[in-house]
Chain A
Amino acid sequence: MVDIREKVEEDRGILKKIQLLIPGYAGYRRREDIRIADNLLRIQLADKLKQARQDVEGCRRVLVENYETKHLEKIGSLSAQFQKIEGDLRHAEQGYSGISPALQIKEEELNKLYEFDYSMVTLIEGIREEVNALKTVVNTQPEKIPENVSKIRQMLDNFDQTFKRRIKFITGTEV
């Protein structure tokens, strides 16, 4: 994957370049650009999760078409869990500290935040692989659905727990 921060820097327009020359305003501009890059990255990650959720909902469609209603509720709950985490990812805070804050979030921390979010790609890929396995199981061995769903739920829980740590991690306040 590309580093979106570089792309955002390259594509700065004339106004933003002028802002970089204004004393006291340059820092604001650079921090905003990292936040924009992080936001773009998280939207992509959320879209990947959304694709995985749509695959899960595809499994639900297969079950409905085959009138295999036994595991429908499990699949439905899994879809709901995907939606929750997708929302958390899409609307996560972007890292901010006001005037004279207790904890500073400067450029360095914002870069860490971007890198932290970037590292979540690996977890999402693992989840998507397991969803692909679920797609196979739904068609061939429906009795294995609970086992697969349970595994995906566990992975989503891990993702959720890790993602919630991001601000503590970048500010170095995690105990």
Chain B
Amino acid sequence: MVFLFGGNKRSDVTATNKEGLVGAMTIAWDDVYKRNVIMWKVPRNIRMNDNIVVREDEIAVFYRDGKVLAYIDRPDRYALTSQNAPILGGLIQALSGVKQQAEVFYIQKKVFDGKFGSKQPYQFRDKEFGFVNLRVFGEFRYRVNDPANFINQFVGTLNYQTSAEVEERIKEQMVVLVYDALGHLKEKGMGVTDLAANLTTIEHVVLEKSKDHFGMYGVEINKVSGLYINLPEEVQKAVDARASMQVLGVNYMQYQTGQAMRDAAQNPSGGAAGAGVGVGAGFGAGYVMMGTMAQSMQQPPPGQATPAQTPQPQGKPCIKCGANVPPGAKFCPSCGAKQEETLNCPNCKAEVSANAKFCPNCGQPVKATVKCPKCSAENQPGAKFCANCGEKLQ
């Protein structure tokens, strides 16, 4: 903070110094001290004819005896009045011991930038993916648009002066507003896969809702930008896979095959992988030949009756090599791969791993949510109590 007297810069320490015949001085808020500071109180009791300089990006608030006399937001130099004059002020103080309190607060009108981010995830219940934990991050721009409310809410009540202190109050509320916007848009049918395409819409919803939330504090949010909604990794993968499938016009199996081939090609031990493919092919050819030979060996000589074949028990295909695995077997007799428990997708009935969260065939969630017997709200699988009403579920 700098005081300018006849062009000489002085610090706060000189604020009590008298200048000129009547002890008045010219006061200005120097740009050097404005960085990250929203409000500055002039550290001196205003005297008769003290001049304050109000610049384009400032509002000055003049208090006398605790009352707001003026919000000065027109750039100019203003000569203020108070009873703190050389003769009159001294006389009043000498007779009554009373000294008039006259204060000036400066407020910056310029726009400040702040950031927000969610500390706790927001549980978004998506039609396709079920419960999805979302985290939001973004930036906002704000400014003081109502000095009356700002100075009485932030300064008078909390004595906030820096932008960091004000932002601390704002950013928590911003997260709440984003969550609120997501909730409303979800009711309108928006799913997690639509979030990326609707970030601008969400920003506008938040902007509009912020008026009521921050207006009473004299603060206006005039831009929300860089909004980023973080999806869980597995959901993001599913969304990316689905987007790729749509672009390529293939089904899941074709897509996975293509991915496997691409991964094999990108494998640093590419030669070995190629050799592996060759080995697999060789083994496959060997099996085919062995099967053919076995069939030919089992062919009865002409004219001999064929004995009745005992039917082989029908098992499941191995999850790794596709060979027939007898029912109940835990390992594939062909390749030795451990066989996982499976269940049927409730949507397309395809057989999927018991550990899968989404069906690899249709992309729908595999495990159905648990319905609350009391309020009928749907809860995550394994939930013990209803998230909506608290009723015990198990």
Interface residues of A (CB under 8 A from B): 25, 35, 39, 73, 76-77, 80-81, 83-84, 87-88, 90-102
Q: Are A80 and B213 in contact (CB under 8 A)?
A: yes
Q: Are A87 and B212 in contact (CB under 8 A)?
A: no
B58-74 contacts to A (CB < 8 Å): 62, 67-71, 74
Residues on the A chain within 8 Å of B68, using CB: 91-94
Interface of B, helix, strand, loop or mixed by DSSP: mixed
B78 at the interface (CB under 8 A from A): yes
- Distance in angstroms from B94 CB to nearest chain A CB is 15
The 8 Å CB contact of A94, one of B67, B146, B153, B180, is B67
Q: Are A88 and B149 in contact (CB under 8 A)?
A: yes
A94 to B218, CA, bound (A): 18
Q: Which of A81, A84, A90, A95 has the most CB of B within 10 A?
A: A84
Other A-B contacts than A77-B209, A87-B149, A98-B80, 9 sampled, CB-CB below 8 A, are A80-B212, A81-B212, A84-B149, A90-B152, A91-B148, A93-B148, A94-B69, A101-B78, A102-B76
A84 to B148, CA, bound (A): 10
A22 to B, closest residue via Cβ: B88
A102 to B212, CA, bound (A): 35
Known: A88-B149, A91-B149. A96 touches B70 (CB 8 A): yes
B48 to A, closest residue via Cβ: A99
B324 at the interface (CB under 8 A from A): no
Interface residues of B (CB under 8 A from A): 49, 62, 67-71, 74, 76, 78-81, 88, 146, 148-149, 151-153, 180, 209, 212-213, 215-216, 218
Q: Are A91 and B152 in contact (CB under 8 A)?
A: yes
B71 to A, closest residue via Cβ: A93
Q: How many A-B residue pairs have CB under 8 A?
A: 65
Q: Are A93 and B79 in contact (CB under 8 A)?
A: no
Residues on the B chain within 8 Å of A80, using CB: 212-213, 215-216
- Distance in angstroms from B235 CB to nearest chain A CB is 28
Q: Are A93 and B69 in contact (CB under 8 A)?
A: yes
Can you list 16 A-B contacts (CB < 8 A)? Answer: A73-B180, A80-B213, A87-B216, A88-B146, A90-B152, A91-B148, A91-B149, A93-B70, A93-B148, A94-B69, A96-B70, A98-B79, A98-B81, A100-B79, A101-B78, A102-B74
A94 to B69, CA, bound (A): 5
Residues on the B chain within 8 Å of A101, using CB: 78-79
Residues on the B chain within 8 Å of A102, using CB: 74, 76
- Distance in angstroms from B343 CB to nearest chain A CB is 37
Lowest 9 A-B CB distances belong to which pairs?
Answer: A96-B69, A99-B79, A91-B148, A77-B212, A80-B212, A96-B70, A84-B215, A87-B149, A83-B216
Q: Are A35 and B67 in contact (CB under 8 A)?
A: yes
A91 to B88, CA, bound (A): 29
Residues on the B chain within 8 Å of A84, using CB: 146, 149, 215-216
Q: Are A88 and B69 in contact (CB under 8 A)?
A: no
The 8 Å CB contact of B67, one of A25, A39, A88, is A39
Residues on the A chain within 8 Å of B62, using CB: 96
A123 to B69, CA, bound (A): 25
Residues on the A chain within 8 Å of B148, using CB: 87-88, 91-93
A146 to B218, CA, bound (A): 26
Residues on the B chain within 8 Å of A91, using CB: 68, 148-149, 151-152
Q: Are B49 and A99 in contact (CB under 8 A)?
A: yes
